A = this chain, B = another copy of it.
Amino acid sequence: MDFRPLFRVAPGARVSLAEINPNAAAVGFDAEDKAAVKSSLERYREEMESFQYRLYADGSKSLLVVLQAMDAAGKDGVIRHVFSAMNPQGTRVQAFKQPTPAEAARDFLWRAHLHAPARGEVVIFNRSHYEDVLVVRVHELVPEEIWRARYEQINQFERLLSSNGTKILKFYLHIDADEQLARFKKRLDDPNRHWKISESDYTERKFWPDYIQAFEEAIEKTSTEESPWYIIPSNQKWFRNLAISQIITETMREMNLTLPMVKVDLEAVRQHYHAAKSQAEKIKQSSL
């Protein structure tokens, strides 16, 4: 099943998250599919590894994956369960936290640009430049005219990356407020997760409708042909991982990644090999 047409936000489309069911069942998957899903996931993991190898070898294109979501929606889980399929050589995770003084002293796209993928690389942004139209908007950290101008600035920035060979995929991990609360409860019940708890988990919930509104507008204004947003039903982790793996796999398949052309004269190299081989034999003979 190709989830891309199902979850992709068409350019210019209106987004109403309240109307999108965050449960896997809404798209015909339920808990009984879990075992089948596991084997699909394993197949996608193998394909992703293979495509990433070719991307790395080819060295002319790159892949940028942006993960955004409410707290506890599973950004870290996606990185652990999906991107662990790829070779750590050539795969890089960049987390965007509170800007450092050096970052805050520049425009909001400066640090995103700094961490853009090099040719051959897969880079995952755990949060991203979109924070500057999300948390920044919700908490009114800059005036509206500033954050409102950013949608177009983001589109221009992403077009620049695309035109340079970077494929961009943006995922919004969609959970509902009840699911978030259930996950917070798990943190409370498991002493191994206590260190993750912060009071802001709860204080930020008051802004839930504001965040939803900010996400909706950001997704509407920045889902483009070259740089689409996907809204992934994420109440069920196994389904979320399946859908993202499938979308990445099929996107990379369409990148037509091939191994680079041979750069040397193979016949000359074969002669090098035979010379080296017979020299090695000679040394072995003489040491007998």
Interface residues, chain A, with chain B CB atoms under 8 Å away: 57, 76, 79-80, 83-84, 86-93, 95, 124, 126, 177-178, 181, 184-185, 188, 192, 194-195, 197-199, 201-202, 205, 259-264, 266, 268-270, 272-273, 275-277, 280
Q: Is the interface of A mostly helix, strand, loop or mixed?
A: helix
Please list 19 pairs of residues, one from A and one from B, whose beta carbons are closer than 8 Å in the complex, sorted by A's number.
A57-B195, A84-B88, A88-B91, A88-B92, A88-B93, A89-B126, A90-B93, A177-B280, A184-B273, A185-B273, A188-B266, A188-B273, A192-B259, A194-B262, A195-B261, A195-B262, A197-B263, A197-B264, A199-B268
Q: Are A280 and B87 in touch, CB under 8 angstroms? A: no
Residue of chain B at shortest CB distance from A181: B276
A65 to chain B, nearest CB (A): 11
Give the residues in chain B near A181, CB-CB below 8 Å. Answer: 273, 276-277, 280
Q: Nearest 9 A-B pairs (CB), nearest first?
A: A202-B272, A195-B260, A194-B262, A89-B93, A79-B89, A83-B88, A88-B93, A80-B87, A195-B259
CB neighbours of A197 from chain B (8 A): 262-264, 266, 269
Minimum CB–CB distance for A224 against chain B, Å:
27
Please tell me if the beta carbons of A199 and B272 are within 8 angstroms of each other in the complex.
Answer: yes
Closest CB in chain B relative to A254 CB, distance in Å: 21
Cα–Cα, bound, A57→B280 (Å): 51
Within the complex, what minimum Cβ distance (angstroms) separates A202 from chain B? 4
